[in-house]
Structure formats: structure tokens, C-alpha cells
């Protein structure tokens, strides 16, 4: 509890005790008024000050103005009529009690998010010629070596050059299982070193590191407001002056009508009391406070489950999603390709594999890496020249003076090579050497263990259409789709084709007209254009990828595809809470406003309609902080 919360708590306790004591003291007249002003000012001086500032700034119509007018009016009525000041003090007391609950709830939300995002390192141990120097992470340059001791956070992204250890990634991924690293392992900032001493060569500056990007993402999430939040802001802007003028009409207009048209007693005291009650009831605190708090808590709850959402607008879109489009490689499949066989080769398998590895050695594509890995020997770069990478088709180059081409059927057709198709499922790398077909290498990429479960979870959530897009061969794509239960698959797509296909999918069923957004899930590196084009782009297993954090709207902090269903479920629960608060708050307000206007509801019911509804809505809102994806992902 911070200083401001403690101060308000002490004032609440003091004013409550004074009210109890004054209730039993047999005091009348001006002394009673003066004594009751003490607890009233103790608990309400800041509200009165804010109301006065609002008037001076020509922006009077807020909840502080409503509370000030209502309580001062109630005090005036007590002076002239009943002599009971309890209602006036109680209105201010319970309003401030509601504010206290709201402050505690927001504080709890912020604390949870702060703990979740407690990944910003305080220092870095920079290795210099003189020894280890403790510096600010901002001062460490790319290529420097930092030392991370057990229990310390990794300050910057980099590669382990010495040592081995286990890393606690819970703050980043929500997973409790440590990740083992050793020499050559890439590591990201924000993880906690659990055991051995690590020496890491940094690959990024601190402001470009994973921890900084995630913190920036979370800190700016609240600036991207949902339609529901925008509605509440507009609602409050027009609603407050309307109820103020309505209260004036009730307190002044009705007595004048009785005098001018009914020739009856104006009953000024009764109608002014109703108007004041009307003002207290009308205060839109529950809506104005609880809706943003729900989204704030929802983003925090999602983060606890390993789902980073860039703004509350994306939570709202996720809750309405009707189509999920998956990339295949690295998203639904492991992305770790292995050579499964060499077919129709006239040369030794080892020699064909060597030529493939050499010509593919300059590419960072997973298939290229698998060929180099299968070759198993060091690549002599001087033996490879004139490498030409052809997007979506393959690679050409000179290896030991021989013209070597490795790629798909499209590359073979372009070269006029009579190739032989493969009947086995998987990715086929066709080889041509010196203009003649030399056989093909079968590369297999198996589905992830949880991919089938992820598709099943999405279907149970009512997602009407699940699609897979891939640049892979049709046979490999159909095999993976059949294994996972995906009915719609499009294969052999160039990177640019994926955007066009996604647009076609988005338009096919008129999803936009039905307000059913489309999600694209990719690895966030080569799928950045499609992630950007989708209604909601989800980068999965791409933590640390600049492309993921920049292009995606939602970032899953591990490579578990079931977390797509987790993200949708969390968003739906958050939106349920939002709508519960909207319907409950407005419903109770309207009912009590009608009762107050007809004189049925008194000031005590007004207190419940204002403060009680706000407390209930706030307590309901913080439920969004405790949404959990564990049950969904199992």
C-alpha cells in the first residue's frame, strides 16, 4: 500500500470514528453543524478541491463536481430542514471508500504487471582488460562481453561464449521449466541465470534488447484503446452534463411547474432533495473506472499466461475472432528439418548431399541449415562462388567449378530440367548438376507435439475456419494438415502470395461484414507482411525477434500453438467482464435514477447506486487479472 492509499485509509478511519461519536452526542444547533463539518472536510477536502479546479478550468462536469454539489446541497438541507448531517457526510465517506477500493485494485493490477514485467536489469557486469566493471546496461556496446553470475538477470541479448547454466524464463514465457544453455546458445535479456557463471557476447544494444522492447510494449498497451473504452469516454463526456441539467430541471423546474401551472405548494425542499439524490445516483464512476481497469487487468492476466497483447483494442478483436490462419513451418511444425532420404541419384549419396550443403551454405533458411547439418563437415567457403538465391524456388551456385542448383519443382521447370517427383510426404529438394537432374533429397519437418491439441481447442472455442498457408510442397502440406485435422490448406506459396491468399480468406465468408476478425499466426520473422495485413497478427515462439514485436499485435512468448486458444479465451473472459460491468452499472443507474426522480429512492439508496455499484464493478474487473491459460492449454 503506497503513501496515498495509506493517507486515504487513515482519513476514512478517522472520519468514520468521528461520525460514530457524533451520532451519540446530544448536540444541536450551530455546534452540531461545525462538529459534523470536521469529518466531512477530513474525508472530502480533496474532492471539493478537484471540483473547484474543474470549475476554474471550465471543465466542471465530472464525478467530483457531482459529489461536491450533492453533499453541499445535502448539508444545506440539513441546516434548513432536518438537522441531520449524517447523509451528507456518509455520501462523501462512501464515495471515498469506493475510491479507496479502486486505488487498491489498480495498485494490485499494477503490482502484478510490474512483477510480471520485472525483467529490466539494474546493471551489467562488463568484462574489460582491467577486470569486471559494473555499468549501466545502456553503456554496453554491441560485441562486448558481459559476465552473468548465478541469480542475476541477463542484461542484454547475446550468445554464450563460455559457461553453461539453466535460465529461469518465467517472467518472459510464463513457463516454470528452466531452459538449459551452453556455449553457442543464444540468450535474451530478462532471463535469470540460475546456476553457472556465463560469459555472453552481446548482439544488441540495450534499447534494442528483448527486455526493453517488451517493457515498451506493455507500457504503451494502454494507449491503444478498445471500442468499448472509447464508448465509455464519449458516454461520460455527454452523460454528465445531461444529468446535471436534468437535476436542475428536477430541483428547480418541478417546483416552478407546481407554482405556475398547478397552483400548488412548490415543495422546494423535497424537489431539491430529489435533485441532489439524482446527482449522487447519476455519477458514472463505475463505468469510467471499471472498464479501463478490466482491460488493464486483462492485459496483465494475459501476460501472466505468456501472451503479450499490445493494446486493449486487440483483446476486443481476439474475443470476436472467426478465422485463424496458421503458417506451417516453425509454427505448427517443429521447424527442425532432417534429411529423411536421397532418391533417384546417379552419384554417391554423400557427394550429392555435399553439393547441396555447399550451395545452400549461405542461406539462413531452416532447410538449408538441415542440409549443412546432415553433411556434418566444415564448409570450405572458398569452394563456393556465384551463389544466387531465387525467392520461393531455391539456390544456384558454383561448387568446385560445377553448376549446382538446389530447389523445388518450380526451379527445375525454369531451368528446363526433367525432374522426378517424390511420393513421400515432406519437403523435396531437387538437385541439378551441370544442367542434368541428379536426384532429390527428402526433408521432413514433423508437427509439434501440441499442434493437434491446439487445432482441437480452437474448434471447441467455435472458431469457424482454420486454414494453413505454406510455401512448402503440396504433399508435405497435405500430410501435416491431415495429421492436425486442418481441412483447408494452401501450399507452394511465395511470401507475397501469402498476403494475397490471406486477403482472399478474409473476404470469402464476409467475416468483416459480420464483425468476425481474422487471425494470422506466424513465426514473426519471414511472415511480417502477413502479420501486418491480418486483423490480428500473432507472432508465436518469436520472442527476441524484432520482426515479431514490430509487426505482430500479439506476441506469444514461447512456441506452444495451444497459446493461440489461450489468448482467445482470455480475451473472451475479459470482454465478458467488460459487458457485465456495462450492463450492471447502466441497469442499476437507470433503475435508481427513475426511483430517485419519483422520490422513492433516498440518499442512502443513491449511495449504493453510486459507490456500491462502483465497488462491485471494480471487484469484478480485477477478476480479469487472474485469468489462467493453464487449463486451456492442457
Q: Is residue 564 part of a domain?
A: no
Residues 432 and 492 placed together within one structural domain of the fold: no
Write the pLDDT tens digit of every residue in 223-265. 555 566 566 566 666 777 787 788 888 888 889 988 888 888 8
pLDDT of residue 458: 94
Q: Is residue 210 part of a domain?
A: no
Give yes or no for residue 200 having a pLDDT over 90: yes
pLDDT > 90 fraction of the chain, expressed in percent and rounded: 23
Give yes or no for residue 552 having a pLDDT over 90: no
**Minimum mean pLDDT range among 79-93, 196-210, 549-563:** 79-93
Q: Is residue 431 part of a domain?
A: yes
Cell of residue 542, nine digits? 518469436
pLDDT of residue 201: 95
Residues 110 and 227 placed together within one structural domain of the fold: yes
Q: Is residue 383 part of a domain?
A: yes
Residues 30 and 57 placed together within one structural domain of the fold: yes
Name the domain boundary from 204, 233, 254.
204
pLDDT of residue 433: 94
Cell of residue 402, nine digits? 560445377
Give yes or no for residue 584 having a pLDDT over 60: yes
Residues 490 and 622 placed together within one structural domain of the fold: no
DSSP states of 97-111 as a string? HHHHHHHHHHHHHHH
More confident residue, 439 or 445: 439
Mean local confidence (pLDDT), 270-288: 75
pLDDT of residue 127: 92
Give yes or no for residue 114 having a pLDDT over 60: no
Domain count, the chain: 4
pTM of the full structure: 0.65
More confident residue, 472 or 264: 264
pLDDT band at 627 (very low <50, low <70, confident <90, very high): low
Name the domain boundary from 170, 204, 238.
204
Domain at 494, CATH number: 3.40.50.1000
Residues 399 and 435 placed together within one structural domain of the fold: yes
Name the domain boundary from 557, 587, 606.
557
Residues 485 and 541 placed together within one structural domain of the fold: yes
pLDDT of residue 548: 62
Which of 170, 628, 551, 631 has the alpha carbon at shortest distance from 327?
551
pLDDT of residue 17: 93
435 conformational bin, left if phi > 0, alpha if psi -120 to 50, beta if neither: left
Residues 522 and 535 placed together within one structural domain of the fold: yes
Mean local confidence (pLDDT), 392-403: 89
Q: Is residue 119 part of a domain?
A: no
Residues 237 and 381 placed together within one structural domain of the fold: no
Alpha helices in 57-85 (DSSP H): 63-77
Which of 238, 241, 157 has the alpha carbon at shortest distance from 205?
157
pLDDT of residue 240: 72
Q: What is the mean pLDDT of the chain?
A: 81
| CB contact at 8 A, 134 and 167 | no
Give the integer Cα–Cα distance in Å for 140 and 155: 9
Q: Is residue 129 part of a domain?
A: no
Q: Is residue 120 part of a domain?
A: no
**In 10 A of CB 292, how many CB atoms?**
21
CA of 208: how far to CAs of 169, 320, 482, in Å?
19, 33, 40
Q: What range does the domain containing 351 cover? A: 338-444
Active-site annotation, residues: 327
DSSP states of 442-482 as a string? EEE-PBPTTHHHHHHHHHHTT--EEEEE-SS-HHHHHHHHH
**Minimum mean pLDDT range among 34-43, 172-181, 290-299:** 172-181
Domain at 196, CATH number: 2.70.150.10
Give the integer Cα–Cα distance in Å for 301 and 627: 5
pLDDT of residue 285: 66
pLDDT of residue 513: 44
Residues 356 and 436 placed together within one structural domain of the fold: yes
pLDDT of residue 118: 59
**Minimum mean pLDDT range among 13-22, 26-35, 352-361:** 26-35
Residues 451 and 543 placed together within one structural domain of the fold: yes
Residues 440 and 451 placed together within one structural domain of the fold: no
Residues 384 and 438 placed together within one structural domain of the fold: yes
Which of the residue ranges 69-78, 339-348, 504-513 has the most confident prediction, judged by mean pLDDT?
Answer: 339-348
pLDDT > 70 fraction of the chain, expressed in percent and rounded: 83
pLDDT of residue 105: 63
pLDDT band at 547 (very low <50, low <70, confident <90, very high): low
DSSP states of 492-548 as a string? S--HHHHHHHHHHHHHHTTTTTTT--EEEEE-SSS-HHHHHHSSEEEEES-TT-HHH
**Minimum mean pLDDT range among 187-201, 358-372, 434-448, 564-578:** 358-372
Q: Is residue 218 part of a domain?
A: no
Write the pLDDT tens digit of every residue in 62-87. 677 777 877 787 787 777 765 678 87
Write the pLDDT tens digit of every residue in 128-175. 988 899 998 888 999 999 999 988 989 899 999 999 888 877 666 555
Amino acid at each position: 500500500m503506497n503513501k496515498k492509499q495509506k493517507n486515504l485509509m487513515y482519513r476514512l478511519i478517522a472520519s468514520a470514528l468521528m461520525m460514530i461519536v457524533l451520532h451519540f452526542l446530544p448536540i444541536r444547533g450551530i455546534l452540531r453543524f461545525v462538529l459534523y463539518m470536521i469529518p466531512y472536510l477530513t474525508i472530502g477536502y480533496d474532492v471539493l478541491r478537484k471540483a473547484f479546479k474543474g470549475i476554474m478550468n471550465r471543465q466542471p462536469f465530472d464525478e467530483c463536481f457531482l459529489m461536491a454539489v450533492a453533499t453541499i446541497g445535502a448539508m444545506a438541507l440539513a441546516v434548513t430542514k432536518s438537522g441531520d448531517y449524517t447523509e451528507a457526510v456518509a455520501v462523501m465517506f462512501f464515495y471515498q471508500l469506493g475510491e479507496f477500493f479502486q486505488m487498491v485494485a489498480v495498485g494490485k493490477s499494477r503490482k502484478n504487471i510490474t512483477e510480471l514485467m520485472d525483467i529490466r536489469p539494474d546493471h551489467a557486469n562488463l568484462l574489460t582488460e582491467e577486470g569486471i566493471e559494473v555499468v549501466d546496461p545502456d553503456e554496453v556496446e554491441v560485441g562486448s562481453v558481459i559476465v552473468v553470475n548465478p541469480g542475476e538477470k541477463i542484461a542484454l541479448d547475446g550468445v554464450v561464449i563460455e559457461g553453461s547454466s539453466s535460465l529461469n524464463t518465467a517472467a518472459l514465457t510464463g513457463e516454470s521449466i528452466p531452459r538449459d544453455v551452453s556455449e553457442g546458445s543464444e540468450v535474451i535479456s530478462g532471463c535469470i541465470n540460475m546456476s553457472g557463471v556465463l560469459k555472453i557476447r552481446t548482439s544488441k544494444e540495450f534499447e534494442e534488447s528483448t527486455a526493453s522492447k517488451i517493457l515498451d510494449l506493455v507500457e504503451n498497451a494502454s494507449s491503444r484503446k478498445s471500442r468499448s473504452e472509447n464508448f465509455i469516454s464519449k458516454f461520460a463526456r455527454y452523460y454528465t452534463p445531461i444529468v446535471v441539467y436534468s437535476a436542475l430541471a428536477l430541483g428547480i423546474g418541478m417546483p416552478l411547474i407546481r407554482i405556475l401551472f398547478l397552483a400548488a405548494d412548490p415543495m422546494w425542499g423535497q424537489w431539491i432533495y430529489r435533485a441532489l439524490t439524482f446527482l449522487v445516483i447519476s455519477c458514472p464512476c463505475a463505468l469510467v473506472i471499471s472498464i479501463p481497469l478490466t482491460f488493464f487487468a486483462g492485459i496483465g492476466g494475459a501476460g501472466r499466461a505468456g501472451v503479450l497483447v499490445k493494446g486493449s483494442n486487440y483483446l476486443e478483436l481476439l474475443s470476436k475472432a472467426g478465422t485463424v490462419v496458421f503458417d506451417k513451418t516453425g509454427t505448427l511444425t517443429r521447424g527442425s528439418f532432417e534429411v529423411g532420404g536421397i532418391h533417384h541419384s546417379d552419384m554417391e549419396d554423400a557427394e550429392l548431399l555435399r553439393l547441396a550443403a555447399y550451395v545452400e551454405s549461405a542461406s539462413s533458411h531452416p532447410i538449408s541449415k538441415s542440409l549443412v547439418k546432415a553433411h556434418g563437415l566444415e564448409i570450405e567457403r572458398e569452394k563456393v562462388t556465384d551463389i544466387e538465391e531465387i525467392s520461393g524456388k531455391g539456390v544456384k551456385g558454383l561448387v568446385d567449378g560445377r553448376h549446382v542448383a538446389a530447389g523445388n519443382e518450380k526451379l527445375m521447370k525454369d531451368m528446363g530440367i526433367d525432374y522426378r517427383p517424390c511420393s513421400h510426404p515432406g519437403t523435396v529438394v531437387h538437385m541439378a548438376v551441370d544442367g542434368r537432374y541428379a536426384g532429390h533429397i527428402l526433408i521432413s519437418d514433423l508437427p509439434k507435439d501440441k499442434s493437434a491439441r491446439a487445432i482441437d481447442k480452437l474448434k471447441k472455442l467455435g472458431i469457424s475456419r482454420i486454414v494453413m498457408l505454406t510455401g512448402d510442397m503440396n504433399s508435405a502440406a497435405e500430410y501435416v494438415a491431415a495429421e492436425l485435422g486442418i481441412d483447408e490448406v494452401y501450399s507452394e506459396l511465395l511470401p507475397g502470395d501469402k498476403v494475397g491468399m490471406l486477403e482472399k480468406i478474409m473476404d470469402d465468408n464476409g467475416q468483416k461484414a459480420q464483425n468476425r476478425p481474422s487471425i494470422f499466426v506466424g513465426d514473426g520473422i519471414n511472415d511480417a507482411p502477413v502479420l501486418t495485413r491480418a486483423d490480428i497478427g500473432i507472432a508465436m515462439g518469436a520472442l527476441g525477434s524484432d520482426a515479431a514485436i514490430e509487426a505482430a499485435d500479439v506476441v506469444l512468448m514461447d512456441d506452444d500453438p495451444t497459446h493461440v486458444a489461450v489468448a482467445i479465451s482470455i480475451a473472451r473472459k475479459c470482454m465478458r467482464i467488460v459487458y457485465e460491468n456495462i450492463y450492471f452499472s447502466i441497469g442499476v443507474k437507470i433503475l435508481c435514477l427513475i426511483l430517485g426522480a419519483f422520490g422513492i429512492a433516498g440518499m442512502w439508496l443513491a449511495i449504493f447506486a453510486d459507490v456500491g455499484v462502483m465497488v462491485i464493478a471494480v471487484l469484478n474487473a480485477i477478476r480479469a487479472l487472474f485469468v489462467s491459460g493453464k487449463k486451456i492449454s492442457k
